[in-house]
Structure formats: structure tokens, C-alpha cells
Amino acid sequence: MHESVSGTGKEVKMINVVRASLPPLEEYVEEISSIWENHWLTHTGPKHQQLQKNLEKYLDVPCVELFSNGHMGLELALRVLKLEGEVITTPFTFASTTQAIADVGLTPVFCDINQDNYTMDASKIEELITDKTSAIVPVHVYGYICDYQEIERIARKHNLAVIYDAAHAFGESINGVPVGTLGDMSMFSFHATKVFNTVEGGGVTFSDEKYRKEFAAIRQFGMYGKEDAEMLGTNAKMTEFHAAMRLCNLRHVDEEIEKRKQAYDQYVQRLSDVDGIYIYRIPDNLKLNYAYFPVRISKNVFGKSRDEITEILLENGIAPRKYFYPLTSDFSIIRSKYPINETPVAKKVAEEILTLPLYAGLTIDEVNHICDIILEK
């Protein structure tokens, strides 16, 4: 991608915060060739079925159901569990998490985050539980795993469902436990910008086989068969072309993650000892997929703010992202409809956080160039 850098008139190759991974073109063409033979384009075709099996093996989970995108996966998980009332969640997330909760008629109740890895602060959950609370929806932000043991202890104590937004956590494990086996369900996003993509798509993992039939119906207008709809559903089917892209990308995902790790490690080497720049130290018990490289910048210590660094990088053809800013609880549509709890840690983190470019094709030289610009006084 080539763009003109503001104020210079120069055309340069932009280094974006993410870049989609694609398989070799000939591999994808070969994968989709059978579609021209069977003319099965969508609605649980052979590619969909093969991908489902491959993902259950790769993610080491009992069940995966596939959808048109991760947002629909989360919405339908909330509906299949037949939740009502309030759901405790985090405001430090992408719009989809909060809007999925609201879209199905539930009320989001915002819990603050911890300042170390930006996930839900489990110590603050119980004070938010009321007789209307039906579930907890934590987010594995940047692939950093929530305090799942404490969250699930609280959920069992109060008879609450736990649905993880694992959009960033594809293929990860914690303490040797696959992320997709945590809680009642976990939603994964396969959007183009994710570690593992199908251009658009998503999946939900779970352990109880009884949900398979409901998911199959609800993504197909609530129809179990061809002549009757027994529930209100939607159209959230994955096409065969998207499933084919996933089958190709799944063959390469481990190699892609290793390339991301090399860039991630170089960032850590260059920035981890810089006063005023905070980087989360990855614990030994976390198998990370290196989806993002977030840093928190303290202007008082570093001398430049997050926003100042952002502008400097953009002037040099580098596009980081304030991810996540603002908090979803600060969205006008959310503030106008729901009572908002104060979440001071999340507020501060959102004002300091910056995700730097990270993708499989990012070179060590490019990482060093980005760091040089950030560190230049």
C-alpha cells in the first residue's frame, strides 16, 4: 500500500498496524476448484465440514461451530444459552463485544480491568453481581488470557454462564489448557486482520454436544429442517469460499505465528527497558499467538504522549492504532441507553495504549526503524 505522507508530498510504502496473511494463490485456486464441480457454495458444504473437523483437532476442543463472522458467533452464543438480564463485561474491547450483548437484549455492566495485562479485574466482579446477572463475558485482550480460574470460580458460586471473547486468542493455551475449552463457550474471530483468517468468519467452541443442533438451526433462520422454523434465527452461514481460505491458512498458521514472534521479540528487545514505555511480560505458562504488540506510554516519564508518538509515526509512513480507544462504555449509543460504572484503570489505559505494527511479513529492519523513530529525542 502506497500513500502520500502528510506534509511531505512523498509517496511511501505505509507500514500498517496489521496486514492480512494470504496463502499462495495457486494453493487457494486448487482448494476452490472442487466448488466448480459440486456447485455447493454455502450452507454447511464439504469445505465447511472439513474445516470444522480440522479446527476441532487444531484447537483441541470437543466442538466448533462456524459462522459468517465472530460478532454473529458471539451473539448466537448468548442466544443459545438463553440468557436474560445483565451481563458483566469489560469496556476495554472492540465495539463488537459490547454491541453483541446489547443486540440480543441484554444489559452490559462494565467491570474495570487490571493494569498488567488489560483483562477483566476478577477481584471487582462480585461487587457488580445482582439478582439480574446471568453471565460474565470477559475478553482475552491481545491474546493475554483472563484470570479464568477466579472468573469461573465466581461464576460457579453464583450460577452464571461464562462466554469468553477469544477473538485475539486463536490457538493459545494457558497452563497447558486450550483456550477454547475455558468457560461455557468461547468465540473466535477469523477476520482478515487476525492471526488466522478466512477473510471474514468466526467460530464458537464448547464442550456440550447438545448445542450443535441449536447453533446449526439459529444460523439458518431457526430452521432445523426444510419446512419449519422452531426458533427465531438469522443468516450467519459461512460460505465455501471462506471455508476454503481457512483450510489453506490453517496449513500455514504455525509458520505465520513464528514470524510474528520474531518481530514481537525484537520490539521487546528494543523497548522493554525504556522508562515510560510499559510492555506486558509474557508469563511462561502462556502459549501466545503474537496477535498484537501493545505498549502503554506515560508522557510524564517518557516525555511524549501516546498521541504525539502516533503523529510522529504517521508522518514517517507508519500507522499504529489506538486499540482500544475510546472505551466502549464511552460510545454515545451505549451511554445513552445504559448506566455506566466508573472504570478508572480502563480509562487510563485507553488514554495511553498504542498497538504497533505486527504481522508475519514485518521485517526486523522495519521493527528497528519503528523503534528508532519512537526513541528519537
Per residue in 214-239, pLDDT (tens digit) is 999 999 998 877 778 888 899 999 99
Residue range 294-338, pLDDT digits in tens: 999 999 999 999 999 999 999 999 999 999 999 999 999 999 999
In terms of domains, do 122 and 13 share one? no
Residue range 57-88, pLDDT digits in tens: 999 999 999 999 999 999 999 999 999 999 99
For residue 201, pLDDT over 70 is answered with yes
Relative to beta strand 63-67, strand 202-206 is antiparallel
Share of the chain above pLDDT 70, in %: 97
In terms of domains, do 106 and 240 share one? yes
Answer with the one of 249, 282, 311 that is the final residue of a domain: 249
pLDDT for residue 223? 86
**Average pLDDT of the residues in 262-290:** 98
Average pLDDT along the chain: 95
In terms of domains, do 13 and 40 share one? no
Residue range 144-161, pLDDT digits in tens: 999 999 999 999 999 999
In terms of domains, do 156 and 115 share one? yes
pLDDT for residue 81? 97
In terms of domains, do 99 and 237 share one? yes
Q: How far is CA 17 from the centre of its chain?
A: 15
For residue 142, pLDDT over 60 is answered with yes
> What is the b/e burial string over 167-182, where b = at least 16 CB atoms within 10 angstroms of the residue's CB?
bbbbbbbbeebbbbeb
What is the CATH number for 78?
3.40.640.10
In terms of domains, do 275 and 225 share one? no
* Residue of 12 and 241 predicted with greater confidence: 241
For residue 5, pLDDT over 70 is answered with no
**Average pLDDT of the residues in 36-57:** 96
Single pTM value for the model: 0.94
In terms of domains, do 67 and 149 share one? yes
Identity of the amino acid at 155: A
Answer with the one of 249, 274, 291 that is the final residue of a domain: 249
CA distance 351 to 325: 7
Identity of the amino acid at 260: R
In terms of domains, do 17 and 88 share one? no
Residue range 16-33, pLDDT digits in tens: 999 999 999 999 999 999
The domain of 265 spans 2-21+252-375
Give the contacts of 375 (CB within 8 A, at least 6 positions apart): 270, 271, 274
Answer with the one of 214, 249, 284 that is the final residue of a domain: 249
pLDDT bracket for residue 1 (50, 70, 90) = very low
In terms of domains, do 70 and 140 share one? yes
In terms of domains, do 148 and 210 share one? yes
What is the CATH number for 334?
3.90.1150.10
In terms of domains, do 209 and 64 share one? yes
In terms of domains, do 128 and 157 share one? yes
CA distance 255 to 341: 42
pLDDT for residue 12? 64
Number of domains present in the structure of the chain: 2
* CA-angle at 224, arms to 222 and 226, nearest 5°: 100
3-state helix/strand/coil string of the chain: CEEECCCCCCEEECEECCCCCCCCHHHHHHHHHHHHHHCCCECCCHHHHHHHHHHHHHHCCCEEEEECCHHHHHHHHHHHCCCCCEEEECCCCCHHHHHHHHHCCCEEEECCECCCCCCECHHHCHHHCCCCEEEEECECHHHCCCCHHHHHHHHHHHCCEEEEECCCCCCCEECCEEHHHCCCEEEEECCCCCCCCCCCCEEEEECCCCHHHHHHHHCECCECCCCCECCCCCECCCEHHHHHHHHHHHHHHHHHHHHHHHHHHHHHHHHCCCCCEECCCCCCCEECCCCCEEEEECHHHHCCCHHHHHHHHHHCCEECECCCCCCHHHCHHHHCCCCCCCCHHHHHHHHHEEEECCCCCCCHHHHHHHHHHHHCC
pLDDT for residue 9? 55
Identity of the amino acid at 16: N
pLDDT for residue 250? 97
